[in-house]
Amino acid sequence: MAEKRSSFTGKLGFVLATAGSAVGLGNIWRFPYLAAQHGGGIFLLVYLVLALTFGFALMCAEIAIGRKTGLSAIGAYKKLDKRFAFTGIIASLVPIIILPYYSVIGGWIIKYLSVFVTGNMAEAAQDGFFDNFISAPTEPIGWFLIYLALTALVVLFGVEKGIEKVSKIMMPVLVVLTVFIAVYSLFMPGAIDGLLYYITPDFSKFSGTTVLAAMGQLFYSMSLAMGIMITYGSYMKKDVNLESSVKQIELFDTGIAFFAGLMIIPAVFAFSGGDESALGKGPGLMFVTLPKVFESMPGGSIIGTVFFILVLFAALTSSISLMETVVSIFMDKFGWSRKATCIGVFAGCVALGLPSCLGYGVLSDVTVFGMAFLDFFDFISNSVLMPIVALVTCILVGYVIKPKALIEEIELSGKFKRKTLFTIVIKYIAPVCIVAILIFSILETTGVIKV
Ligand code: PHE
């Protein structure tokens, strides 16, 4: 079986394909609003520290598990140790939870794109436009369905090769445009305060929630703790340098997230006259602020259109990899055809996505632990399930199969320079932090403690 598995042609192919899955709404939409909500510079600092330690060790571990076993999550955990088979199942639940709400946001992007394409940028830049849109009874559903259908079509026809080729052009354009808009934002009057807020850590704003949010974001953004990296690792050739691939993927992913923050946070300051409460907008931050930035730019209508096309593209490459994972789980498990599975997954996503879609409008009175549905699904996957998967993975690697087993796999393709860091993080630091954070997050959500 393992011999039949297709593989990426080389390092560049591997890094680009993995970065295509990793770079998505997580970087452009989620990172800036979380950074804004959780104290700016302190969040950025915590995120960077976690990325270089946790993120590095976990991504190495997951890719190595995939390459060693030649299997996707469900089979891989089972092969390493039968008692850990359940981890593969929990990991597979994560994309099932994320995909529907990811598509709701994908729908918002298409809506904005349509507004820009039809020359109605000024409308989108008005206060209240975003809130009115997401609280409308039916309109967000239509866009959500269009986005989901686009994703499903690609997965159905499996035009992955095409997508990969296009990624190679679109991704660099996205980088250039993000840097360009970020620089433009920085030159707006009042933006410097925002820049300072974003890059200067204020330690009085540090709390357990900061770490929890940063860790959830790390898993999300790097597509960790949900089996995706294991699957990608299983397609990786033994002679491709694993450690340096991980470094490049991290750099790509974190770089785009950093510039997305630069693009949005200083602009929020500029438009709100330095009012920090404007940063608490949460999921809406990108949709509320960026149209204003574009409106103030010469040629903003065109730049905005290109921007939303690229974001749509980055989101699609991610949701396609999410749906592909979900579809393959069901195909493997029940032996259904690709077509039937796609239709089934589409229907399931519609059902699961509708509450998220209506959660800010018709269903806004219904909350789960005080959160709208979309925020709840985001929370349960990022702050609960992913930490659990990461914790169990650390225990499995640290104490059952032992780090050495993976270090050997990693060293098949060159010296593993940071193997001491890898071992310490996997055995001690990660498990302790994750347990502390899980307990904290459960106490906080259930209202036992207040932050
Ligand atoms: N990492 C993607 C992002 O940042 C989200 C994603 C998660 C994509 C899991 C695929 C798989 O948007």
Does residue 1 lie within any of the structural domains? no
Length of the chain: 451
What pLDDT is recorded for position 7? 64
Cα gap 21→363, rounded to integer Å: 31
Q: Is 223 in the pocket of ligand 1 (CB under 6 A)?
A: yes
What pLDDT is recorded for position 164? 64
Ligand 1 atom showing the smallest separation from residue 27 Cα: 4
Distance 448 CA to ligand 1 centre (A): 31
Q: Is 151 in the pocket of ligand 1 (CB under 6 A)?
A: no
Does residue 4 lie within any of the structural domains? no
Residue 36: closest CA among 208, 266, 223: 266
Q: Per the confidence metrics, is the pTM higher than 0.95?
A: no
Distance 449 CA to ligand 1 centre (A): 31
Does residue 406 lie within any of the structural domains? yes
Residue 136: closest CA among 352, 353, 290, 357: 357
Domain harbouring 305, CATH code: 1.10.4160.10
Q: What angle do CA 113, 118, 122 make, to 5 degrees?
A: 85
Q: Is 323 in the pocket of ligand 1 (CB under 6 A)?
A: no
In the chain, % helix, strand, coil (3-state, to 5) comes to 80, 0, 20
- Give nearest CA residue, ligand 1 atom 10: 318
Distance 328 CA to ligand 1 centre (A): 17
Q: Which two tokens stand for residue 288?
A: 């509320």
Residue 169 neighbours by CB under 8 Å, 6+ apart: none
Place of tokens 């089972």: 78
Count CB atoms within 10 A of the CB of residue 238.
11
Does residue 204 lie within any of the structural domains? yes
pLDDT values of the chain reduced to their tens digit, one per residue, 451 residues: 344 555 666 787 788 778 888 999 999 999 999 999 999 999 999 999 999 999 999 999 999 999 999 988 888 999 999 999 999 999 999 999 999 999 999 999 999 999 999 999 999 998 889 989 988 888 999 999 999 999 998 888 765 566 666 667 777 888 888 898 899 889 988 899 999 999 999 999 898 888 888 988 998 899 899 888 998 898 888 989 999 999 999 999 999 999 999 998 998 888 877 777 777 777 788 898 889 888 988 888 988 898 898 899 889 888 988 898 888 888 877 888 889 999 999 999 999 998 888 877 777 777 777 777 888 888 888 878 988 999 999 999 999 999 999 999 999 988 999 999 999 999 999 999 889 878 877 787 777 665 5
Does residue 5 lie within any of the structural domains? no
Its domain, for residue 144, covers 11-445
- Quickly count helices (H) and strands (E) in the chain: 23, 0
Does residue 258 lie within any of the structural domains? yes
What pLDDT is recorded for position 433? 86
Does residue 142 lie within any of the structural domains? yes
Does residue 328 lie within any of the structural domains? yes
Cα gap 342→340, rounded to integer Å: 5
Q: Which two tokens stand for residue 80?
A: 């390493």
Ligand 1 atom showing the smallest separation from residue 226 Cα: 9
**Number of structural domains in the chain:** 1
What pLDDT is recorded for position 163? 62
